[in-house]
Amino acid sequence: MDSPDDAAVWKLDENRALVVTTDFFTPVVDNPYDYGAIAAANALSDIYAMGGTPFLALSIAAFPPDLPLEISAEIMRGGAEKTREAGVVIAGGHTIQDKEPKFGLVAVGFVSIDQIKKKGGLKPGDHLILSKPLGFGVTTTALKRGIALDTEVIEVVNWMKLLNRDAASLATNYDASGLTDITGFSLIGHAWEMVQNSMYGLEINFSRLPWISCAEKYAKQFTFPGGAFDNRLYYEKYIEYNSNLEDWETMLLFDPQTSGGLLMGINEAKVKDFMNKAENMGQDMWDIGKVIEGNLIRIIR
């Protein structure tokens, strides 16, 4: 417990370990099917972030008693079809009544002992690679405020529903030195967890950060969720800014993500081949910085 990671890992024998995690949350989008699928992809992501392969899940649901059956059924269907896409069986679960809908999974997977991935392990010179763009939180908040366009909602939903399976497979095959997924604590919060666990710093190039197409527009309108301000309050003290950022740009660094991408360290000698392999697979990857000496996150442009 002194070195927390994305999931619990229990050694079964000399070769294999069990990976167990859980995650659930209130709706982030209006469409119930998409909500269920996003919640499932998000819960499974922690198994992938440990280098594991999920195989079993239990659903967790809290629904208002007056919620129409067709809505709760669509939420469950979205979750079931996303887990099936991942090759995972939903073997049961539990549902209670609550005033606001909540849905997610307990997810269980296997991992080879020699392939367990942790937040620590980064080495100076490693490249920092990200597998999904950023800006989900500021966009879904715009949706909640009723100002997001349909095309923008479709874009962010498709990213949030995307499994981190292929990105995790690449990370494992190229022996990523550190691995985590970007969720509620934002890029900076989860990057700082990697710094704490590896004892090396990170240099992030703001100009290389990928954003969904409407992130800048809504950031300038400051449609950030409350968690972004909490993240900034807590994590900004660990940042050294070597470039001038507008306030909305700074806030984007702390934007909470739902079902975000994987953040990993890849050895410099392997990066070119890694990126070529990702391109050939159709798996998006962005090289956003590098691992440095020190115990901080440095932002450059």
3-state DSSP of 249-282: HHHHHCCCCCCCCEEEEECHHHHHHHHHHHHHHC
Beta bridge partners of 292: 201
Intra-chain end-to-end CA distance of the chain, in Å: 36
Pick the CATH number of 8-115 from 3.40.50.300, 3.30.10.20, 3.30.1330.10, 1.10.10.10: 3.30.1330.10
Concatenated DSSP letters of the chain? --S--SSEEEE-SSSEEEEEEEEEES-SSS-HHHHHHHHHHHHHHHHHHTT-EEEEEEEEEEE-TTS-HHHHHHHHHHHHHHHHHTT-EEEEEEEEE-SS-EEEEEEEEEEEGGG---S----TTPEEEESS-B-HHHHHHHHHTT---HHHHHHHHHHHHS-SHHHHHHHHHTT-SEEEE--TTHHHHHHHHHHHHHS-EEEEEGGG--B-TTHHHHHHTT---HHHHHHHHHHGGGEEE-S---HHHHHHHT---SS--EEEEE-GGGHHHHHHHHHHHT---EEEEEEESSSSEEEE-
Res 243: pLDDT:
86
User: Is 3.90.650.10 the CATH classification of the domain at 127-300?
Assistant: yes
Query: Global pTM?
Result: 0.96
pLDDT of the residue at 4: 75
Quote the crossing angle between the two packed helices 69-85 and 32-49, to the nearest 10°. 30
Residues 155 and 51: their CA atoms lie apart, in Å, by 27
Domain boundaries, the chain: 8-115, 127-300
pLDDT tens, position by position, for the chain (301 residues)?
667 789 999 999 999 999 999 999 999 999 999 999 999 999 999 999 999 999 999 999 999 999 999 999 999 999 999 999 999 999 999 999 999 999 999 999 999 999 999 999 999 999 999 999 999 999 999 999 999 999 999 999 999 999 999 999 999 999 999 999 999 999 999 999 999 999 899 999 999 999 999 999 999 999 999 999 999 999 999 999 998 999 999 999 999 999 999 999 999 999 999 999 999 999 999 999 999 999 999 999 9
